[in-house]
A and B are shown apart, each in its own frame.
Chain A
Amino acid sequence: MSLAFYVNVLIGGLLTGLVYGLASLGLAMIIRVTRVVNFAHGAMMVAGLLAATLPIASRSMDPLMALPPVALGLFIFGFVIQWSLISRLPELPQSCRLLFMVGIAMMAASGLSALFRFGGSGTLLPVALDNLAAANLAAGSFQVDQVRVHAALVAVMVTGGLIFFFNVSRTGKAISACSDSPLGALVIGLDLEWLQAVGFGLGSALTGIAGCLLANTVVVRPTLVQDFTVIGFIIILIGGIDSVGGALAGGMLVGMTEAMAGTLLGPEMKELSAYLLLVLVLLLRPHGLGGRAE
């Protein structure tokens, strides 16, 4: 095989990795702002993915049509969960919020699975595969799937918008302040509950958007919720559990590793390679790439 082939594989992995990174960015952001692990990560991604398949299944419309409603819907979902439930939970046992989110995740996952089986679009898989095979962008000997390029572009745009939001807008700066020091934020008169809820909502929206973007490249299977959750956990563990930049880097790293391992070592190594990468990173840097040992 030529060098160009490997570069192709690597680029494909990088494009998928950018979307993974976007999803994990949402997960890491939620942990950073609210100290809560969003166990419903996979369920949120699958919700976005299923919403994106509705335009595919009905007509040959672009799945990206589903992006704004998914983002809005999941923002509201996340906001309401944090605002009305999580902030009402007792503060002291850290495990309380963890277990609460596990409960929410189980309910969300089984609800989705029930909905999907009863009335979901059963013809979703072949349509998605058709789209996948449809168009390639070629430049010389390099070629990549068009849908992946689109997805990665959207992911980069959303990430850029997020960076802008956190560094320039007043609300964004206030949310960063809350995540850096909740007590300090309270002292200078920020509305901690409100800002944390906005942070949770934003993270959920990012997760849903990433799910939307993966709609054309993922084979739908019953274990998808769990698979997405675990890959998200692997990425944030690699990146340092609440490090936003680490999550992005981890996502790209995992995307490329999976693509390379899937091509070089066979499809059964594709999933396993992410775990091996995790173990390797944690052995070298126990707190992850972007993590801090407090």
Chain B
Amino acid sequence: MTDTARLIAKFKLSFGVTGIRNAFGSALWFGLTLLIGLIRVMGNLPERLLCATIEFWTDLMAATTWQGRLLGCGLLLGLATLPNWAGASLLPMMISVLWFAYVGQAWNILAGFVGQFSLGHALFVGVGAYLAGGTMVYVGGGPGFGLGLGLGLVVAAALGAAIGALGFRKGMGVNHFALLTVVAVELARLCFTQFDGLRLGIGRALPPSRLLILTPTHFYYIILALTVLLLLFCRILVRSRLGRAWLALREAPIAAAATGINVFRAKLAAVMISAAFCAVAGAFQAISVQIQAAPALDPGRVFSFTGSVEIALGVIVGGTGTLVGPLLGALVLTPFGEGLNLLAARTGHGMLELKPLCYGLILVLVEFLRPAGLWPWLGQRLRLVPGGDLAEGGRR
């Protein structure tokens, strides 16, 4: 109970109230006391939940300035009400932005927290998409989708574990794993184009999922919920025992191993978690193909190096290893990418190379000017977050 009391004191501090001096404060105090009484009756779990919530709140207050809070609230409000005021062209774009924010967050678990850069996350996304799509074709509709989603999670995690088992051996640096992931994506592309076992391979259009009669608004809220939940989950994850182990072995692998962390197993857990979340994104892609421009899964496009880089690039621009980075990167980069796509479509085939060219240029510039990414720096410059020491650090 002392923990809770300490947290409540912290909570009050975050309001700038040191004593119970005004009506608001005493009402709050009374309410909290009542709540704690209830919790004492109800048991341990709600108490821990409350502690977590209060801790989250106080940390949020400590990590933002009032401008930051204002902007955050505005952003949240805007995102929550977006389908009501956005036009027909903005909504698909925002779905795309949130999709990249989600996948970027999943990629960030491995690259940001553990420091193992994967250039093959298109593999996990593609596996999720193909398994969900395949079961929707063969089993049909809702149950098929559920089955495919579950299958995709398991298969993607297993593939991630297999790549990790080869690439996380002792003495292997960043390069080894990155090379393995590049090769793995290429292998998947080859398998899907040449051995078309699922009969889904070469650009076959998925049927519009009849049992899932969903509009773009539904898709928007689904992906928004997924993104927010993953963000919260990542925050919990990075503060858990496992997350602390990841940060430790990212900063000093030898010291981390010396403190008793099983480095290999911790990395394996990271790649499996990351891959499983990516599979969810893939399944989302499979059910939302009906509202996209090209309503088909094309293995050449799904399992591509460029696709993997696109997943990673948002986070690299936004800020690798931060929680805000993936969202910021997706907000900046995805509209830019869509604009380039539009330009390529307008001007014909001549501009097809423009997008990879620009992405390559962005990658080079970011690595040269600001390898840690935009987030902590931009936030401090705009006074959204207080300067100096930041909670989650970012990539070193």
Contact = CB atoms under 8 A, between A and B. Distances in A.
Interface of A: 31, 35, 37, 85, 88-90, 92-100, 102-111, 113-114, 117-118, 226, 229-230, 233-234, 236-237, 241, 268, 271-272, 275, 278, 282, 286-287, 292-294
A287 B171 contact: yes
A169 B277 CA distance: 53
B110 to A, nearest CB: 12
Interface residues of B, number: 48
Contact of A293 (B169, B180, B350, B354): B169
B276 to A, nearest CB: 22
B166 A286 contact: yes
Nearest to A227: B186
A110 B186 contact: no
A93 B191 CA distance: 34
B180 A93 contact: no
A103 B363 contact: yes
Interface string B353-369: 11111011111111110
Interface in B290-327: 305-306, 309, 316
A237 B363 CA distance: 25
Given A31-B175, A293-B171, A99 B363 contact: yes
A96 B367 contact: yes
A20 to B, nearest CB: 15
B174 interface: yes
Nearest to A40: B360
Contacts of A282: 166
A100 B364 contact: yes
A229 B182 CA distance: 9
B187 interface: yes
B257 to A, nearest CB: 13
Given A103-B362, A241-B176, A234 B194 contact: no
Interface string B190-202: 1100110000000
Interface string B325-355: 0000000000000000000000001100111
B395 interface: yes
B378 interface: no
A106 B275 CA distance: 24
A108 B361 CA distance: 10
A278 B187 CA distance: 11
Given A104-B360, A114-B357, 8 more contacts: A89-B368, A95-B111, A95-B115, A103-B362, A107-B364, A109-B356, A237-B183, A272-B187
Given A90-B371, A95-B117, A114 B179 contact: no
